[in-house]
Amino acid sequence: MLKLSRLFRFANAARLATYLIALWKLARHPDTPRAAKWVALAVLAYAVSPIDLIPDFIPVLGQLDDLILVPLGVALAVRLTPRPLWEARLREAEVSREQLPRFWWGAALIVLLWLALLGLFVWWMVRLFGGA
């Protein structure tokens, strides 16, 4: 039950924004372990991506993926990071909560990634059904 209460604590929307800013700072910090950087970047990419694994228009399930996957990703990044390093990034994020980082290149990269995946899917469908 303790783990469930931690999950709901991570899911608090205002707090979640602070955690995402802390993940951004963590991913950019030179002392962050490589695995933690990759997890942090993946969580950030999923959080800002306009496309979800389960679309938001599906009742309940559409919001559950954001409510569960993002906090679990944050928890994994925290677990992979040395405690003093994470706590320092979290304090920095709490101080600069009103100053959101601007990463247009990140948004453009995500859009390009989804377009490439869509292109591969269309190419696969044409190859699959084009020969029939």
Question: What is the distance between the alpha carbons of residues 126 and 132, in angstroms, rounded to a whole number?
Answer: 10
Pinpoint the alpha helices (H) of 29-103.
Answer: 34-48, 61-80, 83-95
Q: How wide is the angle at C-alpha 22 spanned by C-alphas 71 and 114, nearest 5°?
A: 65
pLDDT band at 128 (very low <50, low <70, confident <90, very high): confident
pLDDT band at 75 (very low <50, low <70, confident <90, very high): very high
Per-residue pLDDT of 46-66, as tens digits, reads 887 777 777 777 777 777 777
Per-residue pLDDT of 5-56, as tens digits, reads 555 555 566 677 888 889 989 999 999 999 999 999 999 888 877 777 777 7
Residue 109: the pLDDT is: 77
Q: CA separation (Å) from 27 to 4, 9, 50, 107?
A: 26, 22, 21, 16
Residue 4: the pLDDT is: 52
Are the C-beta atoms of 41 and 27 separated by less than 8 Å?
Answer: yes
